[in-house]
């Protein structure tokens, strides 16, 4: 039986503020491991990597907490490599922030696969320290995976030789392009990146997921979910509170995840940007999210 390995990355170092470092503990306390097991998975919980909490970094204001982010990516790469070592192992990574996608994909590559990625997010995360003054590396992760001009060498180097991802092995799902920077729009057009926009994810979640998957070249792939793709009013889970009255519900996201996880080439799922402080505003939001995740990741018989 396929093993579902679970690991936590309790880090908000690359974020805009503290909070996401609490997510793995909050998910466990709310019953995620039990829900995954009850859904029929053979779950092995491998605990958490090093906890890191965001702090203002005035020495590197445009790439804040860079050493901590590099450390976190290195740790997750090592762990993911081991936990994806055989074809009958799959991985769920509980972040943390969106830089977990880097360590997850790098672990897949170190385990012997040329990784693909379906990136489910309201944002492209293609910025660099030159394209934004905000300094949060979780808004820049994919710029480093693609080794774009202006990416921070230390983080690019942490991902090994050559770009971690090729444009043909990356697809976006659920993006609200009105929230993109001019730099990001230019890179999407220049690289020919495949984008399935937010409205298609809302209107037909399973079909949108298939479109994103089919845009990747064949081969093993990971999925990353930034929970800010979810309508914040439906479920106030995310670090980013601006996604109000737009985006999919938890249940619509579940349909997309189930279709992607059901693909035999899907090896890993990472979840990022969940802030338990915000989730406390709606006591049903976290249990709903866990129930949807367990249904989406249930073994197909």
What CATH number does residue 8 fall under? 3.40.800.10
Report yes or no: 213 and 118 within 8 Å, Cβ to Cβ. yes
Asked whether residue 114 is domain-assigned, the answer is: yes
Asked whether residue 79 is domain-assigned, the answer is: yes
Per-residue confidence (pLDDT) for residue 87, from 0 to 100: 86
DSSP 52: B
Q: How many CA atoms lie within 13 A of 114 on its CB side?
A: 11
pLDDT digit string, tens, across residues 25-47? 999 999 999 999 999 999 999 99
Overall domain count for the chain: 1
Asked whether residue 301 is domain-assigned, the answer is: no
CB atoms within 10 A of CB 269: 24
How distant is the alpha carbon of residue 245 from its chain centre? Answer: 22
How distant is the alpha carbon of residue 278 from its chain centre? Answer: 19
pLDDT digit string, tens, across residues 258-282? 999 999 999 999 999 999 999 999 9
Asked whether residue 227 is domain-assigned, the answer is: yes
Burial (Cβ within 10 Å: 0-12, 13-18, ≥19) of residue 171: buried
Whether 298 has a pLDDT exceeding 70, the answer reads yes
Asked whether residue 73 is domain-assigned, the answer is: yes
Structure tokens at 154: 């230390």
pLDDT band, very low/low/confident/very high, at 244 (cuts 50, 70, 90): very high
Q: What are the strands, taking DSSP E only, across 134-276?
A: 170-175, 194-197, 221-226, 266-272
pLDDT band, very low/low/confident/very high, at 301 (cuts 50, 70, 90): low
| Nearest to 271, CA basis, from 284, 254, 249 | 254
DSSP 238: B
| Residue written as token pair 């800010």 | 228
Asked whether residue 74 is domain-assigned, the answer is: yes
Write the CB contacts of 280 (distance below 8 Å, at least 6 apart in sequence). Answer: none
| Nearest to 164, CA basis, from 185, 143, 149, 180 | 143
Write the DSSP string, 79-90.
HHHHHTSSTTEE
Domain span at 96: 3-296
């Amino acid at each position: 039986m396929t093993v579902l390995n679970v690991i936590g990355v309790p880090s908000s170092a690359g974020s805009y503020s503290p909070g996401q470092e609490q997510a793995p503990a909050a998910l466990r306390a709310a019953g995620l491991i039990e829900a995954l097991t009850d859904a029929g998975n053979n779950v092995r919980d491998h605990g958490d990597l090093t906890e890191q909490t965001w702090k203002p970094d005035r020495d590197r204001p445009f790439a804040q907490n860079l050493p901590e982010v590099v450390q976190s990516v290195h740790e997750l790469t090592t762990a993911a490599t081991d936990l994806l070592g055989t074809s009958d192992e799959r991985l769920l990574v509980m972040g943390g922030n969106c830089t977990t996608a880097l360590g997850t994909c790098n672990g897949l590559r170190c385990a012997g696969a040329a990784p693909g990625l379906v990136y489910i997010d309201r944002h492209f995360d293609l910025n660099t320290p030159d394209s934004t003054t905000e300094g949060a590396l979780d808004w820049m992760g994919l710029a480093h995976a693609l080794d774009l001009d202006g990416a921070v060498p230390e983080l690019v180097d942490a991902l090994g030789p050559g770009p971690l991802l090729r444009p043909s092995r990356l697809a976006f799902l659920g993006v609200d392009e009105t929230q993109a920077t001019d730099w990001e729009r230019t890179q999407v057009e220049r690289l020919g990146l495949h984008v399935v926009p937010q409205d298609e994810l809302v209107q037909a979640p399973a079909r949108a997921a298939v479109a994103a998957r089919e845009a990747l070249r064949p081969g093993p792939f990971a999925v990353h979910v930034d929970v800010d793709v979810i309508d914040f009013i439906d479920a106030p889970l995310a670090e980013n509170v601006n996604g109000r009255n737009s985006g999919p519900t938890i249940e619509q996201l579940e349909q997309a995840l189930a279709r992607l996880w059901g693909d035999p080439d899907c090896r890993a799922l990472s979840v990022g940007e969940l802030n338990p402080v915000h989730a406390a505003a709606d006591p049903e939001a976290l249990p709903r999210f866990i129930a949807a995740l367990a249904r989406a990741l249930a073994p197909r018989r």
